[in-house]
Structure 1
Amino acid sequence: MLVTTATPFLTEETDPHCLPAAAAAGLLAHAPWRRFASVGDSLSAGTGDPSPGYAGLGWPDRVADVLRRVHPDLAYLNTAEIGATTSRTLLSQMDRLVEFGPDLVHVPCGANDLFRRDPDHTLIEAELARLFEAAAGTGAQLTTFTLGRAFVVPRYPDWTDRVRRVNDIVRGLAAEYGAVLVDMWDHPVNDRPDLLSADGIHFAAAGQAVLATEIVKGLARLLDAEGARP
């Protein structure tokens, strides 16, 4: 007898790596943040294709929705631009961020800096450090994430090494600036066949939902560590 094992069809309600919005808001019930901003590239924008069974929202909009359940007067700014490098983010988005006056900011992890024939990781680290410093200079709590291993660009044979190196840079900067780090490199969601959008780069809506949950969990751990929850 032939026995086959089918991959179960997940929805947002059954996905073990997703939290319902109400449960996520419960984790952040004592969160102080009322001005949330996301800067950077398409990953910071939450770009991605739809997924059956999941709401068609990018992860930043999802996080904003959770925070708005805690603070209905939440102010939310997303200046992220598709294709933005770290240097372009510094040049074109930081003035708007400072003017906004955030208390919670998501910063990018340098993905577009890798789309070069020979990326200069020393320069990438210096520019990311400038970005983290500028964002931290607003006085806001920072969040960031590393790139997942499912993110592959076949035209660059050394792509995996590029990602590993930039992830190490981001981990170091997150520690230095006290950022909430969501480490997606080896997250189980990387093994899902339907994780990525048609472009093979961006997380589809299912992945966006997981990212939002991981950001919320990271913020909740921060609140617990700071004694902000009873």
Structure 2
Amino acid sequence: MQNRSDAAEVRAYRRYVALGDSQTEGVGDGDGAGGLRGWADRFAEVLDRVSPGVEYANLAVRGKLAGQVRAEQLAAALGLRPDLATVVAGVNDLMRPRFDAGAVAGELEAMFAALTAGGAHVVTLTFPDVGRIAPLTRPLRPRVRALNAAVRAAAARHGVTVVETEHEPVATDPRLWSADRLHASPVGHARIAAAVAQALHLPDGGPAWNTPFPTPAARLTLATEARWAAAFLAPWVARHARGRSSGTGRTAKRPDLLPVAAPYR
């Protein structure tokens, strides 16, 4: 795995703000009390262990397109004056009929530029091969590759750290994904948090995030694919055909900077 950073030394961060969609919100990783945990929460805990007293806000809302993340979350993020921000979006755009990798990357780049100009170090992720996670989505592979390339180029222009997942075999292991194959499982969220921590050279990032599992994953079959399509793909298509999003009516779970251990709604 290659991570790109504008600084190799460990930096102490005090205010961390996460922007994005369902993955950053934490869908797929319940907290055991009816809420969500997720990789950003897990990463914030690593930050706080390294440098106690970190404050953390999570503005992510499920279902948001990259342009919506910019329109609805960027101003609030800038108002919190973060010294560290993560920006992860674009998967919801990938699945829309009219997808433009350059336009999506442009929305992300606008966030990179504004946040770095405000003094934040920014981290983003590339996306893994969706065709290996859900074979029925193989037609989306060229879109994923195009978006990843555009994100890398945009990140390079602004000194943004890129956590590379596209070419890591473990990133498509089904054990890292929830039953819907759109969201990481608790194990997957833990791996993403570790990947971000390691990209920033934090000393408490744990084992290498891309370490393979000791046993092979169960093989996908036609029967499992048919069940997945009926249970998850068809309802997603139907919902979006009606113009609805999973984020309709939702707001950020942690809109204010709070100590990492502080409870939130």
What TM-score, normalized to structure 1?
0.74
Structure 1 residue aligned with 2:77? 97
Q: Deviations over 1:121-160 (max 9, x none)?
A: 2322322221221222221000011111147566655201
Equivalent positions of 1:2-13 (< 5 A) are: none
Once the two structures are TM-superposed, the CA of residue 113 in structure 1 deviates from its matched residue by 1.5
| Amino acid aligned to 1:114 | L
Structure 2 alignment gaps of length 5 or more: 1-8, 31-35, 203-265
Question: Does residue 139 of the first structure (1) align with residue 125 of the second (2)?
Answer: no
Equivalent positions of 1:180-219 (< 5 A) are: 180-219=161-200
| Amino acid aligned to 1:192 | D
Structure 2 residue aligned with 1:13? none
Equivalent positions of 1:14-163 (< 5 A) are: 31-49=11-29, 57-150=37-130, 158-163=139-144
Once the two structures are TM-superposed, the CA of residue 46 in structure 1 deviates from its matched residue by 2.9
| Amino acid aligned to 2:142 | D
Q: Deviations over 1:139-188 (max 9, x none)?
A: 10000111111475666552011111111111112211111111111223
| Amino acid aligned to 2:194 | T
Structure 2 residue aligned with 1:164? 145
| Amino acid aligned to 1:106 | T
Q: Deviations over 1:89-141 (max 9, x none)?
A: 11111121111110000011421121211212232232222122122222100
Paired residues of 1:103 and 1:140 also in contact (CA < 8 A): yes
Structure 1 alignment gaps of length 5 or more: 1-28, 51-55, 222-230
Paired residues of 2:65 and 2:89 also in contact (CA < 8 A): no
> Size of the alignment, in residue pairs?
189
Distance 1:49 1:73, change over 3 A: closer
Q: Deviations over 1:22-55 (max 9, x none)?
A: xxxxxxx9532010110011122232246xxxxx
SS in 2 for 1:158: helix
Once the two structures are TM-superposed, the CA of residue 190 in structure 1 deviates from its matched residue by 2.7
Q: Distance in 2 between matches of 1:33 and 1:77?
A: 13
Paired residues of 1:125 and 1:169 also in contact (CA < 8 A): yes
- Measured on the aligned residues, the alpha-carbon RMSD in Å equals 2.4
| Amino acid aligned to 1:187 | E
Q: Distance in 1 between matches of 2:151 and 2:101?
A: 12
Q: Distance in 1 between matches of 2:155 and 2:102?
A: 17
Q: Deviations over 1:62-109 (max 9, x none)?
A: 111111112322110100000111111111111211111100000114
Q: Distance in 2 between matches of 1:126 and 1:59?
A: 25
